[in-house]
Amino acid sequence: MCPDRVVSLAKAKATLSELVKAAEAGETIAITKRGKPVAELRAQQRPLVGVDLDLLRRTTERMAPQEESADVFMRALRDDSRY
């Protein structure tokens, strides 16, 4: 995999917080020492968790239907938060 960014070890030490944020956002950062790659910083892959469809179906069947459409609800939520 080709890194999105290459930084020296000294620069990585000085800007670690920024590099971690970039890695969380999906970037891959190669860290070099004397011009040679020695480490790679990237977001940790989290395993996908399966959804229990029967449980989801049973849960949503018990819920009362929404009185207003989703667009009206979201618009009201957005507008109420502004003022």
Q: 27-57, pLDDT tens digit by residue?
A: 999 999 999 999 999 998 888 899 999 999 9
In a domain? residue 34: yes
pLDDT of residue 1: 67
In a domain? residue 11: yes
In a domain? residue 16: yes
In a domain? residue 14: yes
Domain count of the fold of the chain? 1
CA angle (44 as vertex; 52, 14 as ends), nearest 5: 150
In a domain? residue 55: no
- Domain hosting 28: range is 5-41
In the chain, what percentage of residues exceed pLDDT 70? 95
d(C-alpha 9, C-alpha 32), whole Å? 6
Write the CATH number for 21: 3.40.1620.10
pTM of the model: 0.54
In the chain, what percentage of residues exceed pLDDT 90? 71
In a domain? residue 36: yes
Which pair of structure tokens corresponds to residue 69?
């459409």
Of all helices (H) and strands (E), which one includes residue 40? strand 36-41
Q: Are 16 and 9 in contact (CB under 8 A)?
A: no
